[in-house]
Amino acid sequence: MLTLNIHLPFYNHSGMDLIIDGWFHERGELWPGQAMSIKVKEVLYHGRSKFQDVLIFSSTNHGNVLVLDGVIQVTERDEFAYQEMMAHIPLFAHPNPEKVLVIGGGDGGILREIAKHPGVKEIYICELDADVIKYSKKYLPTLAKGYDDPRVTVKIMDGAIFMNENQDNFDVIITDSSDPIGPASVLFEKPFYDAMHKSLRDGGIVCTQGENVWLHLDIIKPLMDSINQMYGTVEYAYTTIPTYPSGQIGFIIAGKNRDSCVKPVRLPSEEQTDSMRYYSPEIHEASFVLPAFAKKAIYGK
- The residues assigned a catalytic role are 176
Cα–Cα–Cα angle for 89, 95, 98, nearest 5°? 90
**CA distances to 248, 273, 283 from 264, in Å:** 22, 14, 10
Q: Are 209 and 188 in contact (CB under 8 A)?
A: no
SS3 149: coil
Q: Are 106 and 132 in contact (CB under 8 A)?
A: yes
What is the Cα–Cα distance from 105 to 198, expressed in whole angstroms?
21
Q: What is the amino acid identity at position 59?
A: S
Alpha helices, H only, the chain: 79-93, 109-114, 130-139, 141-144, 159-165, 190-199, 217-227, 270-275, 281-286, 292-299
